[in-house]
C-alpha cells in the first residue's frame, strides 16, 4: 500500500459499462414525458448522452424543462424519478458488464491492502445492481457504496462535491489522502472541488465512441478538471496510481 489511504471509484462507465444502458431506459421515459407535455422533441440514448452525460435523472429533467419549454410539478418529477430508477435498475441487472480489465486491478488493490469504496451520482440500488451483475460487489460492502442521489438529504449530483465530502467523512479519511477514478467531466470536477486527486479514465470512450472522442476527453479531464493522471486502459492503473501518489 502506498501513500493513498483510500481508493474511491465512480461506477458508471468507470467500473461497469452501464451508462449507455441506463440512457437507453432514460431516453424511452424522457420521450414519454415529452409526448405527454405535447413536445415534438425526441431523444435517442446517444443524443441524451451527448446533452446530459454525468447527470442523474432528476437533474436531467430539471435541466430539460427550460430547454424544451415545459413544466413538471414536484409530484410529477418525483414520480418520473422513481419510474426511471426501476426501469434502469432492471436493465442493468440484466445487461451490465464490467469495463475491460477492472477485476484484475481491483484484485491487486485488495492484495496491496488498499481499502476501496464506490462514490457515484447514481441511485444506490442502480449502482448495486451493476456491481452485482458484473460480480464486483465482493470488493465493495454495501455500506461503502455512496450515492449522491440516495445517501444525501437533499439529493445532489456531481459536479457538486457533496457526495465526495460525505463519503470521506463517513470513511474517516481526509479528502486529500484519497484518490478517485472518474470518467466524466462532471465527476472529475466534483473530485477537483473536493480536493481529491483524480485519475481520469478515458478508455470507455475509445470502446464506445472511438479514438477521437477518447483523446478529446483526455484533454478535457487533464486541462479543465486537473486530473493528476489519465488512464487509457485499466491495465495501466498501477502506473497511474504511482504517478498520482508521487504527487501527494
CATH of the domain at 231: 3.40.50.1000
Residue 175 inside a domain? The answer is yes
Residue 60 inside a domain? The answer is yes
Which of these three, 40, 71, 95, is where a domain ends? 95
Residue with cell 435498475: 89
List average pLDDT for each run of 10 residues in the chain, which is 248 residues long: 92 94 92 95 89 79 94 94 93 96 98 97 93 97 94 91 98 97 96 98 92 95 96 97 95
Co-location of 113 and 232 in the same domain: yes
Residue 1 inside a domain? The answer is no
Which of these three, 95, 113, 147, is where a domain ends? 95
Residue with cell 504527487: 247
Residue 198 inside a domain? The answer is yes
Which of these three, 95, 122, 148, is where a domain ends? 95
The number of folded domains in the chain is 2
Co-location of 136 and 69 in the same domain: no
* Alpha-carbon 67 to chain mean position: 24
Residue 181 and residue 162: Cα distance in Å, rounded? 16
Element (H, E) at 237: helix 237-245
This prediction has a pTM of 0.87
Length in residues, the chain: 248
Co-location of 138 and 203 in the same domain: yes
Residue 122 and residue 12: Cα distance in Å, rounded? 8
Element (H, E) at 160: none
Co-location of 132 and 42 in the same domain: no
Co-location of 205 and 132 in the same domain: yes
Co-location of 150 and 84 in the same domain: no
Range of the domain at 186: 6-17+97-245
Co-location of 75 and 103 in the same domain: no
Co-location of 120 and 69 in the same domain: no
Residue 107 inside a domain? The answer is yes
Co-location of 192 and 231 in the same domain: yes
Element (H, E) at 170: helix 162-171
Nearest CA-CA partner of 178 in 186, 151, 169, 235: 169
Residue 116 inside a domain? The answer is yes
Nearest CA-CA partner of 7 in 126, 115, 131: 115
Residue 37 inside a domain? The answer is yes
Co-location of 64 and 102 in the same domain: no
Q: Which residues pair with 201 in a beta bridge?
A: 231
Co-location of 91 and 127 in the same domain: no
Co-location of 105 and 152 in the same domain: yes
Residue 71 inside a domain? The answer is yes
Distances in whole angstroms, Cα of residue 242 to Cα of each of 37, 49, 70, 113, 229: 52, 32, 49, 15, 10
Q: What share of the chain is helix, strand, coil (3-state, %, to 5)?
A: 55, 10, 30
pLDDT number for residue 54: 65
Amino acid at each position: 500500500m502506498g501513500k493513498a489511504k483510500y481508493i474511491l471509484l465512480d461506477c458508471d462507465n468507470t467500473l461497469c459499462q452501464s451508462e449507455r444502458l441506463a440512457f437507453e431506459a432514460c431516453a424511452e421515459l424522457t420521450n414519454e414525458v415529452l409526448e405527454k407535455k405535447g413536445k415534438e422533441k425526441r431523444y435517442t440514448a446517444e443524443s441524451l448522452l451527448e446533452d446530459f452525460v454525468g447527470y442523474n435523472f432528476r437533474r436531467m429533467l430539471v435541466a430539460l424543462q427550460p430547454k424544451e419549454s415545459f413544466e413538471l410539478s414536484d409530484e410529477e418529477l418525483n414520480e418520473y424519478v422513481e419510474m426511471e430508477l426501476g426501469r434502469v435498475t432492471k436493465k442493468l441487472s440484466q445487461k451490465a458488464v464490467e469495463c475491460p480489465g477492472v477485476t484484475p486491478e481491483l484484485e491487486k488493490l485488495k492484495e496491496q491492502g488498499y481499502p476501496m469504496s464506490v462514490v457515484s451520482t447514481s441511485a444506490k440500488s442502480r449502482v448495486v445492481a451493476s456491481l452485482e451483475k458484473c460480480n464486483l460487489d465482493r470488493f465493495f460492502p454495501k455500506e461503502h457504496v455512496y450515492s449522491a442521489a440516495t445517501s444525501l438529504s437533499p439529493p445532489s449530483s456531481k459536479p457538486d462535491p457533496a457526495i465526495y465530502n460525505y463519503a470521506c467523512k463517513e470513511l474517516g479519511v481526509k479528502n486529500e489522502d484519497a484518490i478517485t477514478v472518474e470518467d466524466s467531466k462532471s465527476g472529475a470536477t466534483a473530485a477537483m472541488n473536493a480536493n481529491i486527486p483524480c485519475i481520469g479514465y478515458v478508455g470507455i470512450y475509445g470502446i464506445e465512441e472511438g479514438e477521437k472522442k477518447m483523446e478529446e476527453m483526455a484533454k478535457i479531464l487533464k486541462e479543465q478538471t486537473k486530473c493528476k493522471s489519465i488512464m487509457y486502459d485499466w491495465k495501466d492503473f498501477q502506473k497511474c496510481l504511482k504517478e498520482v501518489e508521487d504527487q501527494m
